[in-house]
Amino acid sequence: MTRTYPERKYRELRGKRRVRALSFFILSFVLFLTAIYISFRAGSQQHGIIISLATLLSGLIFALLGKRALKISAEERIYRAGAMGEKQFKKILSQTDGYKFYGVPLKYGDIDALLISKRGVFAFEVKNYSGEIHCESGIWYRILRGKKEHINSPSEEALRHANALSRLLENCGIHTHVRPVVVFMNAQGRLQIHRCSVTVIHDKELLPFLSKFPPILRKNDKKSIAKCVKEQMFRNY
């Protein structure tokens, strides 16, 4: 299964953090062994003892640096939340019929998730934000710990990706509407949406939302759309 951008980025940052920490721990271990060796060879000689203590102290410093390197950065925490949200989203979407794609590459950015079902084509932008989320006439912000902060517009992102996919399908000779949808994970009761340009729902609303659309695509239609998407993904990976 193709990994989405948050998943790829989280794995990349986590891998770098672990390698960095392991390097510090290995260096610390080598310095500790060196200190023991010097102490054993020096016996009671003062300069040998001083060198041994200095080496031991250096090993301790690198051990502390290794422990600090294990700490998750703010950037990694953000991508981890995104990856966890998309993992939860996949479990929910697995309950639906149709073709499902994740991390669909476009010229500018990726579609987090794409569903091609008998009820239509849905391009999902999946978010996993903390705090209270607001959209007022296309302006997005959240209130976190009593502070208001503006966030990038997921509705514009979803609409841009849906339009880009529509153009891609047209290049394959397919003319069908791609519906952009923003889904917030674990956000029940925390969404305040007013006059937003696209549909915005939380994860608990996803299945009821999809079920309200009447069937519009035949089996061959779905297959043709899925084939076009697969070709696009193959060209970009």
Reported as a single tens digit per residue, the pLDDT across 61-85 is 766 776 777 777 777 776 676 677 7
Helices (H) and strands (E) counted in the chain, each on its own, are: 6, 9
Return the structure tokens found at 187. Answer: 């956000």
Q: What is the pLDDT of residue 26?
A: 76
Is pLDDT larger for residue 28 or for residue 169? 169
- Give the mean pLDDT of 219-231: 94
Return the structure tokens found at 127. Answer: 């978010």
- Compute the CA torsion angle 109, 129, 211, 232 (nearest 10 deg): 10
- Give the mean pLDDT of 197-217: 94
Q: What is the pLDDT of residue 52?
A: 60
Q: Which pTM value belongs to this model?
A: 0.72
Residue 38: pLDDT band with limits 50, 70, 90: low
- C-alpha 128/C-alpha 131 separation (Å) is 10
Q: Are 227 and 173 in contact (CB under 8 A)?
A: no
pLDDT in tens, 127-166: 988 889 999 888 999 998 889 999 999 999 999 999 999 9
Is pLDDT larger for residue 81 or for residue 112? 112
Burial of residue 75 (CB within 10 Å: 0-12, 13-18, 19+) is exposed
Residue 105: pLDDT band with limits 50, 70, 90: confident
